[in-house]
Chain A
Amino acid sequence: MEGVEILDVSGDIGLRVTAATKEELFVKAACALFSLITDFEAIEPLESREIALSADSSDDLMVAWLNELIYNFDAFGFLCTDVTINKLSPKHIKATVKGETFDEEKHKRGFLIKAATYHNLKLVCEPSFSSLEIILDI
């Protein structure tokens, strides 16, 4: 996936994501997450869910965003392939996510991700460049 790099960390796995805008960074981070969980290309946008979250800071919002997607997958098997950001401010996000329910016949099994962590978290949001480094607990 363009603009996504896997970071080597002992025991777990990290992601480095770069994007032109903050909105794109949130979209790419979500896609990168699901590319670790399964074969991303095989996910079809068959159903949609609305996500609205608030957090204390931009860093927290990114962690909360990925954890919300992890929760949606772990509780309901929801695999996300398409994200539309409807509203994004430093402490709030509203998004429509499209995807489908995990089917072991169709979807490859990748990493079981327990959580997105604050460990060595680096979020940079400049006017023309955004980047993220985040460690996921496996």
Chain B
Amino acid sequence: MTEKLIRKDENTIEVPIGYKAGMRVPGLIYLNAQLEKFLEPQAVAQVANVSTLPGIVGYSLAMPDIHTGYGFPIGGVAAFDLNEGIISPGGVGYDINCGVRLLRSNLTKQEVLPHIKDLVAAIYANVPSGVGSKGKIKLTPDEQKNVVLKGALWALEQGMGSDSDLEKTESEGMMTGVDETSISEKAYERGRNQMGTLGSGNHFIEIQYVSEIFNEKAAQAFGLFEGQVTVMIHTGSRGLGHQVCTDFLPIMERASKKYGIELYDRELACAPFHSQEAERYFSAMKGAANYAWANRQSIMHLVSESFIAALRGSPSSIGLSLVYDVAHNIAKEETHRVGKRDVRLIVHRKGATRAFPAGHPELPDIYRAVGQPVLIPGDMGRASFILIGTQDAMAETYGSTCHGAGRLLSRHGAIKAAKGRQIWKELLDAGVTVTSAGRGTLAEEMPEAYKNINNVISVVDSARISQKVAMLKPIGVVKG
């Protein structure tokens, strides 16, 4: 099938209408020749399938970290007209508002390195992770309602964070318009003991340092300097979000039949945006997104406490503060330019990060002059990146860019490749202290299981759908 793809320029490939039956718009995949070698035919088919959904506007897009997902590909971005279009849980994923939070500190790599073992151990002890772990924060049913209604603000009200954290969080850490009854009792039960927990799989807390700065002005605005220690937190809405997706897939499948929407993949189940089913899903999704923001805000607090304990420093000398927090599995109502008109669209980002440019009204005052910080984690052995959003992203990708390196090996394949090796020791030799709750997680998540993040970043930077600001290298990692 791949012979029908059309290379448009060095960074983009078009999936033409007709590649698969029923396509309403073409697909567009951001990919250079190097990454094209890894392009899975099933992921391309998923880009095409998304374009069959009613009300899709422009292109069915995919970012350079594309790989096969459920329904939508991972790395998929699609925008739908509010009146003609749909919302689909498959365009958000099971881990609703999985995202990334970046903290900066007043400390340098040299100051932290002597304490790195204690610091990783303190974070591992303070932030429960892995299969079967329970959080230290227990939520009563009333508190859970506040979590899904208020998001990061709930955590602030519990004394975890400061007021300025909200403006440095996408959507200020709270999507409005949540009806708490749209979330099932089962979802609440799964979320009850999981606030302030990391989860497992690809989730992590990483202690890093700024290894290179590419854009001095933006780095300054974000409070970054070379050699500075930063902390990256990657997790989402935990069991509450997973259950919301599980609950709504059959509901949306029945809705697809009811409204006469032909599905090329069951995981694309969807409903017209203004239908009752869609309203219920969107409300529950927003509640789960708020849970995720409360979770990352809580974890930030637990990380701050860990720094104070391990480094025996004062909060002001350590100086941990929020740079930004982004969602990379979410659907949002946004205004975008289509032709000569500004229109409201429902933008699905599944394994894709919002990348709004300087001057965008949704950005906080502190970042409006430079653009939105975009946080892209790499694998635990290489590097992560901070970028900024651009006007080109607004024009081409509904203000979106990539979300990570993208997997190269399957989990099972990675475990096989790691057999007889000590991944923690290999990482330690490379200067990264690692702790993990699950025995298999380190093997599944080892650096060679992922594509080289540098290739992914070079595509989005060269295509100008976001621009490099700084590179971060890991020195300590806590995995689930």
Contacts and interface: CB of A to CB of B under 8 A. Distances in A.
A119 B131 contact: no
Given A38-B131, A109-B437, A111-B200, A10 B68 contact: yes
Contacts of B245: 115
Given A11-B407, A55-B250, A117 B40 contact: no
A108 B439 contact: yes
Interface string A67-84: 100110111110000000
B200 A112 contact: yes
Contact of A109 (B131, B189, B407, B412): B131
B193 to A, nearest CB: 8
B246 A115 contact: yes
Given A10-B410, A11-B411, A137-B94, A117 B70 contact: yes
A42 interface: no
Given A102-B132, A112-B131, A118-B249, A9 B438 contact: no
State the main secondary structure of chain A at its contact with B. Answer: loop
B192 A75 contact: yes
Interface string B158-181: 000000000000000000000000
A8 B413 contact: yes
Interface in B133-151: 133-134
A102 B242 CA distance: 20
B447 interface: no
Contacts of A38: 131-132
B67 interface: yes
Given A114-B94, A117-B267, A71 B243 contact: yes
Interface in B392-448: 407, 409-413, 437-440
Given A102-B132, A112-B201, A11 B74 contact: yes
B130 interface: yes
A125 interface: no
| Residue among A7, A75, A104, A115 having the largest count of chain B Cβ atoms under 10 Å | A75
Contact of B131 (A10, A37, A56): A37
B411 A60 contact: no
Nearest to A71: B186
B336 interface: no
Interface in B246-279: 246, 249-250, 253-254, 265-267
Interface residues of B, number: 44
B190 interface: yes
Contacts of B201: 111-112, 114, 138
A13 B412 contact: yes
B412 to A, nearest CB: 5
State the main secondary structure of chain B at its contact with A. Answer: loop
B14 interface: no
Contacts of A67: 246
A49 to B, nearest CB: 14
A118 B266 contact: yes
Contacts of A111: 131, 200-201, 411, 438, 440
Contacts of B76: none
Interface in A106-129: 107-112, 114-115, 117-119, 121
B132 A104 contact: yes
Contacts of A47: none
B70 A74 contact: no
Given A10-B407, A13-B411, A138-B201, A114 B242 contact: yes
A11 B409 CA distance: 8
B474 interface: no
Nearest to B410: A8
Interface in A49-108: 55-56, 60, 64, 67, 70-71, 73-77, 102, 104, 107-108
A44 interface: no
Nearest to B128: A104
B70 A119 contact: yes
B95 interface: yes
Contact of A112 (B71, B199, B246, B253): B199
Contacts of B94: 114-115, 117, 137
A118 B267 contact: yes
Nearest to B247: A67
A135 B265 CA distance: 14
B239 A74 contact: yes
A110 B131 contact: yes
Interface of B: 40, 67-71, 74, 94-95, 130-134, 186, 189-190, 192, 199-201, 239, 242-243, 245-246, 249-250, 253-254, 265-267, 407, 409-413, 437-440, 480
Closest 7 A-B residue pairs measured CB to CB? A112-B200, A75-B189, A102-B132, A114-B242, A118-B266, A109-B131, A74-B239
